[in-house]
Structures are given as C-alpha cells and as structure tokens.
C-alpha cells in the first residue's frame, strides 16, 4: 500500500532520529595537522621558509645573503660563492643549516691563499655574522664564541685539500682538520648547533668546498665519519 506524503515524512524523521551520532576522530589524530607543521618547521634545515631547501654553500650577492643552488648558503658582503662550491673574496661563507649527524666530514681545497691574506676553516652557529671572520679559540679562550676555526694559511700550500671532521657523538664536541690523513689541528670548545664555514681575507684568496663527496673525497675519511647529509622538510 502506498504511503501518504505525511506518512513518508514521519518515517524519514523516525529513521534519522535512530541513527547513531557521528563519532569524533581519535584523540591522537586531532593534532595531526598542527604536529605536521611543527615537524616541517623543525626539520626543514633551519635556513628559511621553503620546504625543499638543502644545506650547503650556494651563490651569494652583495650583503649577507641567502640563495638557492645545491643548497642554501649565507655569505658576507665581500664574499662571492659560485656553483655552491667556489668561495672567493673577503669575509665568511657558511652553510645554511646546522649539522644534525653525529660525525660529519667534508673537504676544502685551498685554490689560492691570495696576497697577505688568510684562510680559516671551521664551523659557525646560526647567530654568527657572515661579515665577521671565524674565531680562533686558541687566541680568544675567554670570549663567548659563535664560531670556531683554525687558520690553515701557514700549514698548507695552494692546491692542498684539507679534511674537516666534526665529532658530535661525544662531549666535548670537537673539529679536527686533516691533510692526507695527518692531523693538522684540533678545535675544541664547540657549543650548540653548528654548520660548515670558511673565512677568507686578503687579495685573491679562493677555496673550493666539497660537502657531499661529489666528486669523491680526496683524502682518507676517518672511521665512522660520512659526508654531510642533506636534510629536507618532511613535505
């Protein structure tokens, strides 16, 4: 028997009133989107807002700058960085993010020491000004530092490749510099998050930085150390 319109309306209302209420999402999923945003911010290599930026040294213009290439770089006003590797000028250039791995290794080739200048190899914190040279802890033992380096000008000649090994697996954190497997210097007193950095001074100084073993490293890599691991955001 066909139902009258009024009976149909009552039947639909009755069915809806008996349906179970919609269930809320589990408590552990309610914060999924905000948490993803936090992870993106924390894991995105600390160098900027874009989610696909990588660490490394890249081209820079005048003034403290940031630019894309193999990675993100920060450089002082007097520094020029070409192809993410070749650093010239006078001032400091450093990678755009702190190293997260326990033991990182990279190499720097001293292409030219320039005239009356210096080449400092080391590490720097995010707060270090790229317009300031990297600090030499041995000469400034009581100063609160934002960078730690060793001046290799008198240790190696032009064309030499210096290996840089940062050990964050133990305390105190230290940076060791090598030439063909021979220890040149140990830089102690490192504190906080740091990233690879170089400082040049004088006329015509130039270095070539190899963070990723591309091309393969020149010297023997200390046991347990690996090339810089590129870190990206999760998305």
Q: What is the pLDDT of residues 32-91, one digit of tens each?
A: 433 433 333 344 333 333 333 344 443 333 344 333 335 347 889 998 888 878 899 999
CA distance 165 to 175: 6
3-state secondary structure (DSSP) of residue 29: helix
Q: Which region holds residue 227: left if phi is over 0, alpha if psi is between -120 and 50, else beta? A: beta
Per-residue pLDDT, averaged over 118-123, amounts to 95
Question: Which pLDDT score is estimated for 203?
Answer: 86
Distances (CA, A) of 186 to 45, 50, 127: 27, 35, 23
pLDDT above 60: residue 15: no
Per-residue pLDDT reduced to its tens digit, 148-197: 999 999 899 999 999 999 999 988 899 999 999 999 999 998 999 999 99
pLDDT class for 139, splitting at 50, 70, 90?
A: confident
Q: How far apart are CA 204 and CA 87, in angstroms?
A: 10
Among the listed residues 96, 164, 151, 89, the one whose alpha carbon sits nearest the alpha carbon of residue 125:
96
Q: In a 3-state reduction of DSSP, which class is residue 27?
A: helix
Give the separation between CA 138 and CA 145, rounded to whole angstroms. 11
36 vs 13, which has greater pLDDT? 13
Supply the pLDDT for residue 61.
Answer: 36
Tell me whether strands 226-227 and 103-124 are parallel, antiparallel or unpaired. Answer: parallel
Band (pLDDT 50/70/90 cuts) for residue 135 is: very high
Residue 33 has what DSSP assignment?
H
Q: Which position has the higher pLDDT, 25 or 196?
A: 196
Does residue 117 have a pLDDT over 70? Answer: yes
Residues of the chain above pLDDT 90, percent: 49
Q: Assess contact for 190 and 177: CB atoms under 8 A.
A: no
Query: Beta-carbon neighbour count of residue 135 at 10 Å?
Result: 22
- Predicted pLDDT at 2: 55
Report how far residue 43's alpha carbon sits from residue 33's, in angstroms, rounded to the nearest whole number.
15
Please check whether residue 197 is in contact with residue 122, taking contact to mean a CB–CB distance below 8 angstroms: yes
pLDDT at 11: 53
Q: Regarding predicted confidence, which is higher, 37 or 142?
A: 142
């Amino acid at each position: 028997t066909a139902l009258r319109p009024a009976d149909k309306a009552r039947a639909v209302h009755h069915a809806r009133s008996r349906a179970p209420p919609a269930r809320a999402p589990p408590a552990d999923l309610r914060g999924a989107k905000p948490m993803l945003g936090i992870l993106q911010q924390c894991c995105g290599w600390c160098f900027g807002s874009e989610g696909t930026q990588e660490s490394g040294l890249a081209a820079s213009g005048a003034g403290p700058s940031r630019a894309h290439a193999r990675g993100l770089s920060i450089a002082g006003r007097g520094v020029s960085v070409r192809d993410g590797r070749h650093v010239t000028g006078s001032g400091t250039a450093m990678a755009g993010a702190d190293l997260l791995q326990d033991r990182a290794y990279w190499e720097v080739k001293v292409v030219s020491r320039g005239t009356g200048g210096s080449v400092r190899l080391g590490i720097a914190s995010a707060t270090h000004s790229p317009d300031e040279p990297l600090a030499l802890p041995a000469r400034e033992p009581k100063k609160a530092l934002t960078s730690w380096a060793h001046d290799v000008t008198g240790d190696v000649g032009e064309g030499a490749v210096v290996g840089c090994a940062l050990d964050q697996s133990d305390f105190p954190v230290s940076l060791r510099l090598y030439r063909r497997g021979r220890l040149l210097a140990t830089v102690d007193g490192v504190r906080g998050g740091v990233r690879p950095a170089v400082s040049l001074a004088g006329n015509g100084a130039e270095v070539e930085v190899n963070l990723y073993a591309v091309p393969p490293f020149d010297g023997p890599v200390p046991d347990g150390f690996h090339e810089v691991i590129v870190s990206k955001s999760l998305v």
